[in-house]
Amino acid sequence: MESKIEMLKLTSIQLCLAVSTAFGFICTYFLNLTTTHSEQYIAVIGVLSLDGIFGIIAGIKREGFKTYKALKVLKSIITWILLLTGILMIEQGFTGLGWLSETIIAPFITFQLISALKNASMAGLIKNELLNIILDKIDKHKGERL
């Protein structure tokens, strides 16, 4: 009888150790992933935050502060961090896919920077003339503005 209780205690300890070891492995994997690619995470968070702050300022000037619009910034940041994490996991898992994150994230960052410029202009932080000069330099192949 006593050996069965001893065996049950040992099994619960082993189960607890197995779960904590698995949890530690997963946390260490994500810590390594984020520290190795911290520049990409900082770029995504920075650009989204910049666009969000300018958007909030522009929204306050137009229609007042809207909490649900401000929370959309956090939702967007979390979504893109999860997407970047998934892409980086695929890159690490398969040899030869080191280009994947740059291919998917670089156009996104470009569009978000343009959106940040537009929001800064709408907030009155950048003059429309300066914004037009910047946008014209981006698309020189399209010709002059009418």
Q: What is the pLDDT of residue 25?
A: 96
The secondary structure of residue 126, as a DSSP letter, is: S
Reported as a single tens digit per residue, the pLDDT across 35-88 is 999 999 999 999 999 999 998 888 888 888 778 878 888 999 999 999 999 999
State how far the Cα of 51 lies from the Cα of 45, in Å rounded to an integer.
10
Q: How far is CA 76 from the centre of its chain?
A: 7
State how far the Cα of 33 lies from the Cα of 40, in Å rounded to an integer.
11
Q: Can you list the pairs that 8-12 forms with residues at least 24 positions away whose Cβ atoms lie under 8 Å?
A: none
Reported as a single tens digit per residue, the pLDDT across 105-142 is 889 998 898 888 888 888 888 887 877 777 777 666 55
State how far the Cα of 50 lies from the Cα of 59, in Å rounded to an integer.
14
**CB neighbour list of residue 21: distance below 8 Å, 6 or more residues apart:** none
Q: What is the pLDDT of residue 86?
A: 94
Residue 128 neighbours by CB distance under 10 Å: 10
Q: What is the pLDDT of residue 84?
A: 94
pTM: 0.75
